[in-house]
Amino acid sequence: MSDTDRETYAPFVLHEIDGESSLILGDAAFGAKEHIFAERAEDGWSGNGYDWNSVIQVLVAEQLDSAAAEQLDYDPEGGTFAAYGPRGPLEQLAVVAAATYHDDAKLRDALSRAELD
């Protein structure tokens, strides 16, 4: 059985198939926040999937409880950010990730503490 939620955490997509869940942010959504990463381009930031993974790691460390954080795995690529794990922890991550995506000040703040991969 497949279940995909493209609206609740947009532009992040929460996908579940056969009990396996993932949270995805694709390159189509990167462009809307390119200006934030461009402010840090001289430090090597470009706003790709690896950069989003760095931002997400800050959010996980600061806003998720350790039990939820320990259940998540990540597989970023240049054109995609992806996290995998049980649906509950992914939903927790999706809430904070979407809130950060939609608030440039929050994104800048998280990016200021992120480490470039």
Query: Residue 19: its pLDDT value, please?
Result: 82
CB 12 within 8 A of CB 94: yes
Q: 79-100, pLDDT tens digit by residue?
A: 999 999 999 999 999 999 999 9
Query: Residue 1: its pLDDT value, please?
Result: 52
* 79's tokens: 């054109």
| Pairing assessment for the beta strands 2-5 and 20-26 based on DSSP bridges | unpaired
Query: For residue 1, what are the β-bridge partners?
Result: none
Which helix (H) or strand (E) segment is 16 a member of?
A: strand 13-17
Given a cut of 50, the residues of the chain with pLDDT beneath it are: none
pTM for the model stands at: 0.94
* 83's tokens: 């996290």
Query: For residue 74, what are the β-bridge partners?
Result: 83
Name every residue whose Cβ is closer than 8 Å to that of residue 90 and which is 6 or more positions away in sequence. Answer: 14, 21, 22, 23, 72, 83, 84
Q: 87-101 vs 49-63: helix axis angle to the nearest 10? A: 110
- Please state, in angstroms and rounded to a whole number, the distance separating the CA atoms of residues 42 and 49: 18
